[in-house]
Amino acid sequence: KGILGERKKTLQRTFDKVQGLHAKTASAQAQINELVTLRDVMMGNTEGKMSLERYVLRASFEVVLNVANQKLAGLTNDRYQFVLSDTVSGKGMSKSGLEIDVYDDNAGEQRSVHTLSGGETFIASLALALALCQVVQERSGGVQIDSLFIDEGFGSLDSHALASALQTLQSIAGNRMVGIISHVLELTEQIPDQLIVQSDNGRAHVAYQHDIDPV
């Protein structure tokens, strides 16, 4: 009896220890599961494939797109509007959340920006650049962006789109210098102050031209 009683007590103590270890293991596993879930959310390893970083960027990007849509509407006669795409991309990587589609009012449907023509792509890019410039100024505690340069792209525009783009740039000029880098000859009739770069036997020459009354 005495021996059996001691064995029983020993087995009970062992059983209690095993139960205690099991409880601690279950608690540790629960904490690990929570950390894994948090990691997956931050990295975008979820159904939406959007990381925490992109979620925050998307919120700021929406502000830029709201401003860009105001400019894009004027440049396209209210035809196009930017829309954040909900399409999941990236083949398992967190690349979703910042893709842009456009709503085409003529077609009455949303489509990829990659379906825009060359001229339409330039107009869309211009609207985004102007919006980003405006939002940065508004959020930078009084920092003023005094210069804006547009490099090429005007050659892809028809006469109406070119006139709209120039009108938009002139409207934002004010005390800001807006520079256009282009080979489009029609622009020389619209812009009074010009730096003309010409090549002569492999050597570049720069001349300044000011036309008080451009045609």
Closest CA to 172 of 143, 131, 141: 131
Q: What is the pLDDT of residue 93?
A: 44
Listed in sequence order, the residues at least 6 apart from 140 whose beta carbon sits closer than 8 Å to its beta carbon are none
- Which residues of the chain have a pLDDT value below 50? 92-94, 215
Do the beta carbons of residue 176 and residue 147 sit within 8 Å? yes
Q: What is the pLDDT of residue 68?
A: 93
Residue with tokens 């792509």: 121
Q: What is the pLDDT of residue 99?
A: 84
Q: What is the pLDDT of residue 215?
A: 45
User: DSSP string spanning 15-31?
Assistant: HHHHHHHHHHHHHHHHH
Rounded Cα gap, residues 175 and 198, in angstroms: 29
